[in-house]
Each structure stands twice: as C-alpha cells, then as structure tokens.
Amino acid sequence: MSLDIYQYVAGALSGGLVGFSLGMFGGGGSILAVPLMVYFVGVPNAHMAIGTSAFSVAFNAATGLVSHARCGTVKWRCATIFMATGSVGAFIGASLGKAMDGQRLLLLFSFLMMVVGILMFRRRSSEGDPLAQCNRNNAPKVLGIGAGTGLCAGFFGIGGGFLIVPGLVLSTGMPTLNAIGSSLVSVTAFGLVTALSYSVSGLVDWPLALVFVAAGSIGGFAGTRAAQSLAARKSTLNTVFAALILLVALYMAWRNLAG
C-alpha cells in the first residue's frame, strides 16, 4: 500500500491523539486508532488499518508497562497466566477477523465502541485486595476470561484494556490500580500476536506504524502530564471522552450501513 506525505502527517496527528488519550484516560483510549486510520488518515483497507493499529497499541502498552513495573503495580503471576490463554485467543481472533469482509468488520467494531463508551460512563472505582494473587481456586476463571478477551482483542485489533482490567478484578479481586498495570502485559502480547498475524498476510503498513507510535509516545507523555494537572476534573473529562467514543461509533455505523 502506498500513502502520500499528507497521509503520514495525518498518521502522526492520529498517533499523537491516541497516545494523548491513553495517557489521559487509560484503558479505552486505543480504540480510536482504527477509526482514525480509516476515516482520517485514509487507509483504504480496513484490515490494513487493524493490523497497523495493533502494532501501535502493543508498542504504547509496552511503554506503559515499563512505568507500572517500576512502580510495583504489576502482579506478574496473574498477568502471565491471563496473557497465556489470551494470546491463543488473540491469534484465533485475528484469523477470524482477516476472513471477514472489511465493511462488516468495521460495522461490528462500531458496535464494540458503543459498548466501550457505555462502560466508561458506568465506570466505578473499587478498592480490591492488595494481597490478591492467582491460585488453584481462581486460575480456571483467570484462564477463561483471558481467552475470551484475547479473542475479542485479536478479532478487532484492539488492546482490550477496557475488558482486561475488569476481567482481572473479577477473577482475582485485585485493586484496579494493580489490574491496570497487570493488564498491560496482555495488551502488549495481544497487540503483537495480532500484528504478527496481519503482517504475515501483508496487512501492516510499517512506515505508518512507526510514525504512529513515535507521535503516540509524545502524545502519551503530554496526556499523562495533563491527567495529573487536571485530576480534579477527571470525572468530567472521562464523561466527555466517553461521549466522543459514542459519537465516533455512531458515525462509523452510519457510514457502513449507508454504504
């Protein structure tokens, strides 16, 4: 696929926006990557947009994982168990996604975005148990939820953090902060597995991906700083961002249903 210079500039702007939203709002921010690549950058192939965004999401997640690991918020055993079956699910999901018609896949993606927007409106804080760990009792639940979220992440080419975080809390009882840090292990793995699957089929634009992640790193730094300075208004900002996701989802649904 050949893109012009203006599309790479649009890719840089899109990467910066996705990085900023990830730094500002956390899980759910990366879900804007695919619609931006399709409708703003102008990537003509929906599968190419998904494959390219999967690599970008994985890179951004890995960057965030380093920060959380330094702060000691990653529960590595739980994160590894969750990621193990999730990666298998991501590979299967990516294979299913590539086999589906691109327009239909985007339509389903818009419905997923609606769910994400609604979940962000309903987001609640939970203290959880700081000593929670994976054991024989909860391992089957962790493995099962991991497989399901990986399947969804691979199918749509998303990080899936908005599913992984509540999944880890539900299956282990860990605090949300630990779930966020631990989820990045799976987000990184799912993104890499999905990107690898799409790249084997020639469905990753590597120059665009590199531009996207470079700008995303800068945007992520700015978003993190903004989140710290606007902490008092975080609830209002989350509501605005959820509304934005719903609007983009409705636009995508309209475009694909009208087409």
2-27: per-residue pLDDT in tens?
778 999 999 999 998 888 887 776 66
**SS3 state at 208:** helix
By the 10 Å C-beta count (0-12 exposed, 13-18 middle, 19+ buried), 210 is classed as middle
Q: What is the pLDDT of residues 141-156, one digit of tens each?
A: 999 999 998 998 888 8
**SS3 state at 206:** helix
- Looking up tokens 């966020």, which residue turns up? 180
Q: How many domains does the chain have?
A: 1
Count the neighbouring beta carbons within 10 Å of the beta carbon of residue 252. Answer: 22
Please give the backbone phi and psi of residue 125, each rounded to the nearest 5 degrees, phi first. Answer: -85, 150
- pLDDT of 235 above 80: no
Rounded to two decimals, the pTM is 0.80
How far is the C-alpha of 183 from the C-alpha of 213, rounded, in Å? 19
Q: Identify the top-confidence range among 61-65, 149-153, 165-169.
A: 149-153
How far is the C-alpha of 29 from the C-alpha of 52, rounded, in Å? 16
- CB–CB of 186/164 below 8 Å? yes
How far is the C-alpha of 253 from the C-alpha of 259, rounded, in Å? 10
| Segment 125-132 mean pLDDT | 68
Range of the domain at 47: 5-258
Residues 6+ apart with CB under 8 A from 144: 85
- CB–CB of 23/237 below 8 Å? no
Written as six digits, the tokens of 17 are 């926006």
Please give the backbone phi and psi of residue 130, each rounded to the nearest 5 degrees, phi first. Answer: -60, -20
